[in-house]
Structure formats: C-alpha cells, structure tokens
Amino acid sequence: MKKKELERILNLVPRHPSPKIHFEQYSTPATLAATMLWIAEEHYHDISGKRVVDLGSGTGRLGLGAAVLGGQTLLLDIDYEALQVARSQAVQLGIYDRVDLVATDVLHLPFRENIVFDTVIQNPPFGVHRKGSDVAFLEKALALTETIYSLHKANTISYIRSFLRKHHPSLVIDVLLEEEICIPPEYVFHRKRRHCFKVSLIRVYRPRQ
C-alpha cells in the first residue's frame, strides 16, 4: 500500500463527535497519522505482523491505520463514544478481525502491565490542560512494550528527553519528524479558523543487548 492510499483511508475516519477538553481530545490529522505509521512500518518494520497498542486512541486513526498495514491492534481509550466510532470504522474497512477495543483509563489499565506488545503508537495529551499527562502516557507505554512511537509538541521534546534519560537511562530517544500541523476549531473557546503548531514524532526504544 502506498502512503497516499493509507492517508485516503485514514481521512475516512471521523473526528471525535464531541471532544472533551479535560481529556485534551484532538484528532490526529490524517496526513500526519499516515506519515507516522509509514515511517514505523517502512523504515523499522514495527507494524505488520506485530502486536500494536494505540494508547488514547480516540476514533482510531492511528490504531486503525496500523491494522490496515497488517498489525493486530488494541485500541485503548477512556471515551466509549470515541471507541464506538472506531469500531464502526473497523467494520466498514473490513479490518475488525485485526482490531480489539477496550474502554479504559489508559493510566489505570485493567490488566497486568507485563503483557508484552511489540509496538505502542500514540498521540497522547500534550499536558497543556493536564500537566504531566504527556510523560505519564510515555511511562505507561514503557510498561507495555520496548518500542514506542509518540507525538508531542515540539517545544516539549527537550524536557521529555531529559525526563526519560533521568528515569530510564538505557532508552534511546530519536526524533524522527518535526512538522507544523493545523487543526480546525474543536472547542467553543477556539476563536481562529484553524490553530497551527509544531509537533515532533519520537521513537523511544530499548536497544537489544
């Protein structure tokens, strides 16, 4: 599958019908989601045939995209309404057999955290409204896997790198991509027709001995 075709498919996944600001719910642009997954698969072979987890999946652009690329994907989100949208899309895309969905608080998972997955993909809260939630998602991801792809505001990468190096000195943190994204108004307090900011995609992994 070409990246443009993956992007076209992800464009079919709707934005959240009623996002909630206290969860910092923003839809990952389809172009960025496709690029993120394309890098993970084509450059690192971390999607197809792998056990993939999408933490804070929302309506599932990342998780469903991973399933399209051949991953066996678990979507986790606290918002049942968002997961209902993701489930409907999985059925329509013909990938429901490669997708599991669990409504749960990602930071308080209802299963043992030593369950082994191959890859975590996530667009976590940026920590603007819930301070520290970005690194909390990274910590949770590290309890589930040894390879993580995570999106963050570009101006927080230095802090995230320092935090991970302090608490997990064996980790490797690579910045794979930095680009500006623009999102339409999601909440009533958004006054601009679109809000633009820079994000970075990082790959965090433990090198094999």
Summarize pLDDT for 148-207 with one digit per residue, the tens: 999 999 999 999 999 999 999 999 999 999 999 777 666 555 566 677 889 999 999 988
pTM of the predicted model as reported, rounded to 2 decimal places: 0.91
**CA-to-CA distance for 117 and 34, rounded, in angstroms?**
21
**CA-to-CA distance for 185 and 195, rounded, in angstroms?**
7
- What does the mean pLDDT of the chain come to? 89
**CA-to-CA distance for 122 and 202, rounded, in angstroms?**
10
Kindly state the tokens that stand for 206. Answer: 């433990």
**CA-to-CA distance for 8 and 3, rounded, in angstroms?**
9
pLDDT of residue 117: 93
Q: 3-state DSSP: the chain helix, strand, coil percent, rounded to 5?
A: 35, 25, 40
- How far from the centroid of its chain's Cα atoms is residue 33's Cα? 8
Lowest-confidence region among 12-16, 22-26, 83-87, 130-134: 22-26
Q: State how far the alpha carbon of 43 is from the alpha carbons of 34, 36, 57, 77, 203, in Å.
A: 13, 11, 23, 27, 12
**CA-to-CA distance for 134 and 69, rounded, in angstroms?**
26
pLDDT of residue 209: 64
